[in-house]
Amino acid sequence: MFSCVYLLLVFSDSVCSVQWVDVSQRISQRLSVSMNPRDRRSLHRLSPRDLVGLEQFEELEQVDKEVTSEGTIIVKYREKFNGIPVYDAYASIETDKTTNEYTGQADGKLLHEIPDDITENKIISESQAFNIAVENATVFHKEAEVDSENIRIFIYTLDKRAILVYDVSFRLKINNHVSLPGFFISAETGQIIKQIPKLKSYNLKSVGGNIKTGQHKYGVDMPFLHVQQNGNQCSLQNEDVRVFHLHNNLDKPDLPFTFRCSDGFKDEVNDAYSPLSDLLKSVTGIPFVLYPYAVIDVIGHEIGHAFTDEHTNLEYSGQSGAICESISDIIGEAAEWYITKTTDNKAGDGIVANEQQLVVRDLCDQDKDGRSIVHVKDFTEDLNVHYSSGIFNRVACVLRDNLEWKDIFILFTYASRFFWHETSDFNNAGCGLLKAAYDLSYQLIHIVHALSNVGIEICSVEDHIRMVSEYMEIKDLKVNSANNVLLFRLDFKKLHKLSGSDVKRIQVTTSRGEGDVDMYVSFYQTISKEDYVYRSIRKGNTEVLFIDRKTMQSAFLHLVPKHSSFSGVTLTTTAR
C-alpha cells in the first residue's frame, strides 16, 4: 500500500513524487541476473505485469499485438491504476512466438509509486469539468453552439506528482467555424492543466474526382462502391463508412444518404463530379480550390488521423503534433499509391486548380513554400504543425530511395502502433522508427541516413536486436525482399554471465523452408557482402558456420536472401 498526504491550498499538492520507469531497462535487469535454469524458467512464466514489477492497483491492458520478422510476438500494453488509464504510460514487450519466453526486447515507460488514494481526491464531477471547459472556450462568444462532448479520466503527471484529470473535448461552432477544443482539467481543483486542440481538420469526404484528377469510375477502373440495399432503396453505408448529405449546414441528419438503387444519384458541383456534399460551398472558401476535398491523398490523410488517435493519440501541438501531421501525409500518399500505383509526393495536389495561387505540401521539399521546415534546427514551439510536419515528410521522401511507399507506410504505422506515445518528440519518434525497421527486417542504414538528413539524433538500438544464446531454435523466419535482412546479436560475455558456462565456440545453422538464405557474421549492424568475418553461402537454406570467442567477443549475425526472398527457415545455435 502506498499513499500520500495532500495539502489543500490553491492547488492540491502532494508531498511525495512519482517515478517514471524505463521498461527496457527494467526487463533487461530482471533477465540479466545470473540464476540456475529452474529459476530462469520460472522468470519466463511471470506475467508482463509482474516482470516489470508493478505494484498493487497497477495493471497492464493489452492494446495491440503483432508478429515480427525475427520470430517474436510484440504486444503493446497501456498502464492503468485502479482501472484508470495512466496518460503517456505504455510498454511494448516481445516474446518468442514458439516458446513464449521473454527475449529482453522491450520499450516504453511506466509510472510507479502512484498514491493508492489518488482516486479519492476527485472533488470535481464530469459535468463540472465540462462546464469549466465550455466557459473557457466560449467566454467571448456567448452565441457559440456546443455538442458532441467527450469526457475521459486519466492519471496525469505534473511536476513529478500524479493527479487525476478529465480530458474534455467537444465540437464548438462559432459563426459557421467549427473547432474541437480539448482541455485537461484537474479533478481535484478544477484548474485547467493543459489545452490541446483535438480537431486536425474538418473536411467532408466523398467520391467521384474532379476536373483535375479526372473521373473516378467506380466499378470500372476502380472498385465497386459497396452500399446497403433495402428493397429498391440503397443507402451510402457499409460496415466501414456512412455518408450523410448535410444540405449546406453543420448538423448531421439521422440517416445516411438514400436513393433508388435503379436511379443512382447526380450531385455534380464545384467542378467535382459526385461529391455528395457541398458543405464547403456555403462558407467562405479559398479561391482556386476544387471543393470538396475529395481526392485520395486527402481522404487518406484524414483516415490517418483516425488511425493515430486510435493507436498513439499524439498530442496535436509541438513536435508530437508535427509527427501527427506527417504520418497522415504519409498515409495519404500510401493510399494514393495503393489505388493508382503512382504518387506525386504532394499532399492535396488534386484539389488545387492553380498551384501558382495556392501551394500544396510537397513532402520532399516542403520548405519551398517559405513557411515549412525540413530540419530540426529550424523548429520552434510556436510553429504550426502543418509546417513542422516537413521534417518527417522529408524522412519519408529520403526513404523513397530504397523503399516503396507501401514499405514506408508499414514502417511508420508500425512505429506508431508500438513505439510512439502521446508526447513523442522528434528524437523519440526517430528511435521508434529504427526499432520498427528492425522488427520489419528493413536495413537500419537506410533509416539512419534518412533521420540524419533532417538532424534527428540516432539512438542505439543494440539492446533491441534479438540476442541468440548457446542453445536456441528460432522457427519460421522469412524476408520478402532482396533489400531486407534479418539481424541477430551474439555476446559471449553476456552468455557467460547469464548461464555461468564457459562457451568458447557456437555453431549456427539454418535449415528447412523455401528460397535461398545466406549467413554472414560481422562486427557491425550493417553488412556488405565484402565486409564479414564468417559467412556461409551455399545453395538452398542449409547453411552452417562456427563463431569462435577468440575471434570476436561480440558479433552480429545477418540472414540475407541470396536472390529475392526466403521463408520457413529455422535458425539453430549450439555450444561447441
421-458 per-position pLDDT tens digit: 999 999 999 999 999 999 999 999 999 999 999 999 99
Separation CA 312–CA 327 (nearest Å): 11
What is the DSSP annotation of 211-278? Answer: TTTEE--BTTTBPPP--EEETTEEESB-SS-B----TTSSPPPSS--EEETTT-----BTTBS--S--
Separation CA 224–CA 227 (nearest Å): 9
Q: What is the pLDDT of residue 254?
A: 64
pLDDT-derived band at 298, boundaries 50, 70, 90: confident
Region of 118 please: left (phi>0), alpha (psi -120 to 50) or beta.
Answer: alpha
- Considering only residues 6 and 560, tell me which one the structure prediction assigns the higher pLDDT: 560
Backbone phi and psi for residue 415, each to the nearest 5 degrees, phi listed first: -60, -40
Retrieve residue 81's grid coordinates: 491504476
545 near 552, Cβ under 8 Å? no
Nearest to 426 by CA among 282, 318, 554: 318
- Considering only residues 413 and 268, tell me which one the structure prediction assigns the higher pLDDT: 413
Q: What is the pLDDT of residue 513?
A: 95
pLDDT in tens, 508-542: 999 999 999 999 999 999 877 778 999 999 999 99
> Which H or E run contains 30?
helix 23-31
Mean pLDDT, the chain, integer: 83
**What is the tally of helices (H) and strands (E) in the chain?**
12, 26
Separation CA 331–CA 410 (nearest Å): 9
pLDDT-derived band at 269, boundaries 50, 70, 90: very low
Q: Which range among 62-71, 223-232, 496-505 has the greatest average pLDDT?
A: 62-71
pLDDT in tens, 410-425: 999 999 999 999 999 9
Give SS3 for 330: helix
Instruction: Report angle CA 280, 283, 285 to the nearest 5 degrees.
Output: 70
